[in-house]
Amino acid sequence: MRTLFASILFLLVSAAACAAGGAPAMAKVQPVKLAPHSYYIQGLAGEASTVNQGFMSNAGFVVTSDGVVVFDTLGSPPLGAEMIRQIRKITSQPIRRVIISHYHADHIYGLQAFKALGAEIWAHRRGQEYLASDEAQSRLAQRRKTLYPWVDKTTRLVPADKWLDGETGFEMGGLHFELVYVGPAHSSEDMVMLVKEDGVLYSGDMVFKGRVPYVGNADSKAWLEALGRLLELKPKIMVPGHGKASADATADLVFTRDYLIYLRDTMGKAVANMEPFEEAYAKTSWKEFEHLPAFQAANRVNAYNTYLLMESEGLQTK
Ligand SMILES: [Zn+2]
């Protein structure tokens, strides 16, 4: 009986959330046109929470004369559905393809809404490692609690229809798309998308703006090297994984780069001096970053993982 009651309550809450349209986070799923064919949707700052309903990452789409290409799908199935509704306001072209930058929850939990439309999902083959990992399952379990009812037991991890290797290009409706594998960096499977005619580069989480980056177990050394590769693509406009798009890609990279360098520098010195992490963390000045969204949630873990990474890098060079 309790289960039935919970189900009815959930349906009512879901229906209200869908019908409202004016629910706070949903209302902000607002496409911004960046170039003749390219759009993006900017998520809110900070960590996923019930306040932002998991709407805290960016996504994009490109309208061609022969269908729509989507880049990332936001952080819940309702957000994915809302993104589709917004695309429908702009074009009646079929949504043919979804490119996934990487398999982190906030970029892929909207996938099932696109899959239901028959869109073909492409991602780098190393995304399979994440899907098979305990981390993917524990993250899903966590989000089913913290983002309920937007993420619930019907939310599932959707694999790609096509797993890519290295660099891939394709053409749709006269537009040329370049998919470049730049991982392992922020994740094992980082892939960026350049829309050549528009000069728009969708960078995924290679670039964070306006919040403390999520470093997790990233390879920050390779990540720093890969940031240079983004500039080689000479984007006119760059869409980061989090934060505002802009026409100054070089400046956009600076924040992510400087944060990673600072972590490596401070934690690297602590490791070299055989200083315990707790002491090193406590005496490091974080004043450049502590006012930013996601600092409380991400910074300590980022520093700790960097500390471990610097230890292992040290061992490798001995
Ligand atoms: Zn990510």
Question: What's the gap in Å between 189 CA and the centre of ligand 1?
Answer: 10
- In the prediction, which pLDDT does 216 show? 85
The DSSP secondary-structure symbol of 197 reads T
Question: What's the gap in Å between 217 CA and the centre of ligand 1?
Answer: 11
Nearest to 108 by CA among 69, 70, 62, 142: 70
**Could you report the average pLDDT of every consecutive run of 10 residues in the chain (318 residues)?**
45 43 59 98 86 91 98 97 97 98 97 98 97 96 94 97 95 98 96 98 96 92 94 95 93 93 97 97 96 94 96 81
What is the secondary structure of 177-227 as a DSSP string? EEEEE--SSSSTT-EEEEETTTTEEEEEEEEE-SS----TT--HHHHHHHH
Token pair for 71: 């880049």
Question: What's the gap in Å between 27 CA and the centre of ligand 1?
Answer: 24
d(CA 75, CA 106): 4
- In the prediction, which pLDDT does 51 show? 79
Question: What's the gap in Å between 108 CA and the centre of ligand 1?
Answer: 10
Q: Do 206 and 230 touch, CB atoms closer than 8 A? A: yes
Nearest to 271 by CA among 284, 259, 258: 284
Question: What's the gap in Å between 151 CA and the centre of ligand 1?
Answer: 18
Question: What's the gap in Å between 12 CA and the centre of ligand 1?
Answer: 32
Residue with the two structure tokens 């398999």: 103
Question: What's the gap in Å between 34 CA and the centre of ligand 1?
Answer: 23
- In the prediction, which pLDDT does 240 show? 97
Domain parsing of the chain, residue ranges: 15-248
State whether the Cα torsion 35-41-44-48 is positive or negative. negative
Q: What's the Cα-to-Cα distance from 228 to each of 234, 283, 284, 311, rounded to whole Å?
A: 10, 31, 27, 25
State whether the Cα torsion 50-118-20-245 is positive or negative. positive
In degrees, rounded to 5, the angle at the alpha carbon of residue 18 between the alpha carbons of residues 66 and 94 is: 5
Question: What's the gap in Å between 286 CA and the centre of ligand 1?
Answer: 22
Question: What's the gap in Å between 176 CA and the centre of ligand 1?
Answer: 26
Question: What's the gap in Å between 1 CA and the centre of ligand 1?
Answer: 40
Query: Which residues make beta-bridge pairs with 102?
Result: none
Question: What's the gap in Å between 248 CA and the centre of ligand 1?
Answer: 22
Instruction: For residue 124, give the H/E element and its range.
Output: strand 120-124
Level-2 CATH architecture, domain 15-248: 4-Layer Sandwich (3.60)
d(CA 133, CA 216): 15
At position 309, the amino acid (one-letter code) is L
Question: What's the gap in Å between 124 CA and the centre of ligand 1?
Answer: 14
Q: Do 173 and 65 touch, CB atoms closer than 8 A? A: yes
- In the prediction, which pLDDT does 236 show? 96
Looking at 21-104, list the stretches that DSSP marks H as alpha helix, in order from N- to C-terminal side.
24-27, 77-90
- In the prediction, which pLDDT does 217 show? 83
Question: What's the gap in Å between 206 CA and the centre of ligand 1?
Answer: 8
Of the CA atoms within 13 Å of residue 282, those in its CB half-sphere come to 5
Question: What's the gap in Å between 187 CA and the centre of ligand 1?
Answer: 7
Question: What's the gap in Å between 5 CA and the centre of ligand 1?
Answer: 36
Question: What's the gap in Å between 131 CA and the centre of ligand 1?
Answer: 14
At position 209, the amino acid (one-letter code) is K
Q: Do 252 and 238 touch, CB atoms closer than 8 A? A: yes
166 Rama sector, left if φ>0, alpha if ψ -120 to 50, beta otherwise: left
Nearest to 269 by CA among 292, 255, 285, 253: 285
At position 7, the amino acid (one-letter code) is S
- In the prediction, which pLDDT does 25 show? 46
- In the prediction, which pLDDT does 207 show? 96
